[in-house]
């Protein structure tokens, strides 16, 4: 739904973003610098907007709280692409634009209009080539089986639900998860740098200027509401800037050692906060105010708001117990900037929650039940599909039930998984699993309805005996009979030993042809654009791996190309 208008200093503002500065005209303020496009937030969307604008001969200044990268650089580096990319063709994967659309419309729904989704699919292969031209490397080594993330040495995989029977009815399976290629040992965090850093290098080589360790606090508008530029806070360079960056990186490193829900995490969180507080003191003492003129437009691309816990509790309380995914800069400041000049927002309650079961594959061959002891989803679906069903319809509560044979097999499978997958599975099996000899005792562990759980297991075993698919669409080959003794694991949103990653999907409402931010009356705000997770996009309904980065590239390029025929403010 379209959210009601919110103004600076309202009780639910939850941000340091200030009211816009209103001037009579563009000449009535002393500007410190200027460019055709001013990008606020240099992540995947911002760097795509910058490169596209530079390709069209525009000048670009980028403003970023760090040195750039955002959640894109910290991600698994998956770019969702199809319709016959060069990588798909090299791997022998058949796909068409129409097939890609037929699949994605099931995930995207009506969160964007059909023409936008068709354009997203029609330009997907082209956007892949654009990334390659700007230095991003992909690889055609194909991982054909279902997985939340491909094994080491594989770069093209099914990063969605294309292998699930329900989705096959509308579109034939095609691997669209294009993982950025890199030489050397696999790193579970930061693989997104394979996509971001080549784009940043390309933009700098084309002439982009970057104000790092800086942030926008307000927009500058004229009396008609047109956006003319922004007020930013900037750290001076040299030793002050270097010290601030080291403290920030060190603080975030400590806070990433353990998920916040894990025992012992508070210790590392507190140490990390000490360094971040020291960085904040440097900001308060040394930052200078500058005004940057945007001759053709300002692009808001600062990410979502998952690390602004007050905003999450207000807009999406179902997800407040989830683990924030991204960076501490995902605090909603860009969304608030847009709202400060009348920008409308939509789908602010939409959050993706990732409850991945596979690998190990045996987890997904067990059953997931709610507090009432009933299955509610095909366990083989993509993790965000399962997480969405759990959080939206079952109060965030779910439990994984297996028998001893599956449990032992899962242990073996976990040893072959990537380190971050292996360690998460081991944590679940070692410290979360409870073994019981019968269903009544099993249900009692979490006060689950025992008669319903017994009926659920009997029904599931019936499908296994008949070698048939189940009522929730799980394939016969993925269903196995469950026999005592049983294991149960808490995989709820508030499970301390099975953290649930969460990411916000809603944001500023856009003109889907240009990327202009719209006001609450549905009118374009002249000079103001947005891209990526600061705005509503193709993944604002539900998430599949790589769709956010793909939307960042798509929406970022849209902003850059929209400036071509725009007159200077």
Q: Per residue in 39-84, pLDDT tens?
A: 999 999 999 999 999 999 999 999 999 999 999 999 999 999 999 9
Comparing 222 with 236, the larger pLDDT belongs to 222
Note the pLDDT tens digit of each residue in 194-222: 999 999 999 999 999 999 999 999 999 99
Lowest mean pLDDT among 138-152, 311-325, 360-374: 138-152
Per DSSP bridges, beta strands 399-403 and 501-504 are: unpaired
Contact by Cβ (8 Å): 505, 532 = no
Residue with tokens 């959050």: 351
The arithmetic mean of pLDDT across residues 120-134, rounded, is 98
The percentage of the chain sitting over the pLDDT mark of 90, rounded to a whole number, equals: 88
Can you give the pLDDT at residue 4? 64
For residue 117 the two structure tokens come to 């989704």
The arithmetic mean of pLDDT across residues 539-556, rounded, is 97
H or E, element range at 563: none
Note the pLDDT tens digit of each residue in 79-116: 999 999 999 999 999 999 999 999 999 999 999 999 99
Cβ neighbors of 421 (< 8 A, separation 6 or more) are: 148, 149, 359, 414
Note the pLDDT tens digit of each residue in 407-445: 999 999 999 888 888 999 999 999 999 999 999 999 999
Residue with tokens 């999406």: 316
The arithmetic mean of pLDDT across residues 516-537, rounded, is 97
Can you give the pLDDT at residue 445? 97
Can you give the pLDDT at residue 186? 47
Helix, strand, coil % over all residues of the chain, rounded to 5: 40, 20, 45
DSSP type of residue 324: E
Note the pLDDT tens digit of each residue in 134-189: 999 999 999 999 888 988 889 999 999 999 999 999 999 999 999 999 765 445 45
Task: Answer whether residue 236 shows pLDDT above 70.
Answer: yes
Contact by Cβ (8 Å): 296, 36 = yes
Can you give the pLDDT at residue 259? 80
Task: Answer whether residue 296 shows pLDDT above 90.
Answer: yes
Contact by Cβ (8 Å): 111, 347 = yes
Binned at pLDDT 50, 70 and 90, residue 362 comes out as very high
| Averaged pLDDT of the chain | 94
Lowest mean pLDDT among 415-429, 448-462, 506-520: 415-429
């Amino acid at each position: 739904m379209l959210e009601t208008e919110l103004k600076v200093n309202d009780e639910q503002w939850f941000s340091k973003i200030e009211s816009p500065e209103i001037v009579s005209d563009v000449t009535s303020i002393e500007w410190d610098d200027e460019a055709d496009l001013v990008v606020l937030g240099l992540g995947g969307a911002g760097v795509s907007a910058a490169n596209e604008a530079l390709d069209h001969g525009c000048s670009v200044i980028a403003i970023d709280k760090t040195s750039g990268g955002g959640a894109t650089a910290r991600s698994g580096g998956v770019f969702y692409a199809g319709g016959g990319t060069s990588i798909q063709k090299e791997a022998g994967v058949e796909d068409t634009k129409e097939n890609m659309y037929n699949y994605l419309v099931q995930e995207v729904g009506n969160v964007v209009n059909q023409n936008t989704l068709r354009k997203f699919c029609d330009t997907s292969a082209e956007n892949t080539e654009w990334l390659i031209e700007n230095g991003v490397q992909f690889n055609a080594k194909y991982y054909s089986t279902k997985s939340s993330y491909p094994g080491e040495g594989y770069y093209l995989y099914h990063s969605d639900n294309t292998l699930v029977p329900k989705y096959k009815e509308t579109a034939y399976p095609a691997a669209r998860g294009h993982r950025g290629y890199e030489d050397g040992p696999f790193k579970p965090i930061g693989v997104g740098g394979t996509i971001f850093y080549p784009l940043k290098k390309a933009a700098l080589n084309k002439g982009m200027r970057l104000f790092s360790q800086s942030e926008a606090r307000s927009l500058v508008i004229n009396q008609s509401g047109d956006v003319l530029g922004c007020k930013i806070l900037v750290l001076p360079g040299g030793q002050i800037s270097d010290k601030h960056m080291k403290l920030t990186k060190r603080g975030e490193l400590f806070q990433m050692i353990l998920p916040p829900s894990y025992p012992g995490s508070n210790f590392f969180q507190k140490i990390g906060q000490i360094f971040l507080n020291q960085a904040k003191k440097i900001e308060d003492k040394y930052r200078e105010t500058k005004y940057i003129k945007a001759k053709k437009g300002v692009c808001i691309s600062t990410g979502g708001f998952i690390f602004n816990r007050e905003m999450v509790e207000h807009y999406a309380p179902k997800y407040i117990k989830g683990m924030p995914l991204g960076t501490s800069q995902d605090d909603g400041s860009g969304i608030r900037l847009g709202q400060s000049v009348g920008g409308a927002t939509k789908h602010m309650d939409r959050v993706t929650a990732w409850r991945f079961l596979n690998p190990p594959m045996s987890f997904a061959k067990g059953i997931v039940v709610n507090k009432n002891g009933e299955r509610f989803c095909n366990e083989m679906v993509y993790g965000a599909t399962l997480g969405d069903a759990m959080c939206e319809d079952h109060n965030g509560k779910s439990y994984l039930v297996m028998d001893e044979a599956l449990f032992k097999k899962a242990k073996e499978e976990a040893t072959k998984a990537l380190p971050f997958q292996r360690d998460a599975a081991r944590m679940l099996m070692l410290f979360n699993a409870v073994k019981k000899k019968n269903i009544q005792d099993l249900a009692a562990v979490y006060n689950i309805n025992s008669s319903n759980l017994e009926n659920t297991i009997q029904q599931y075993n019936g499908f296994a005996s008949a070698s048939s698919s189940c009522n929730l669409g799980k394939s016969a080959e993925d269903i196995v009979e469950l026999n005592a003794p049983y294991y149960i694991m808490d995989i709820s949103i508030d499970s301390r030993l099975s953290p649930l990653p969460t990411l916000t999907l809603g944001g500023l409402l856009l003109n889907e042809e240009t990327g202009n931010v719209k006001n609450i009356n549905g009118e374009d705000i002249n000079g103001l654009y947005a891209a990526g997770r600061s705005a509503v996009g193709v993944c604002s309904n539900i998430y599949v791996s790589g769709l956010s980065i793909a939307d960042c590239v798509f929406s970022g390029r849209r902003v850059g190309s929209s400036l071509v025929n725009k007159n200077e403010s």
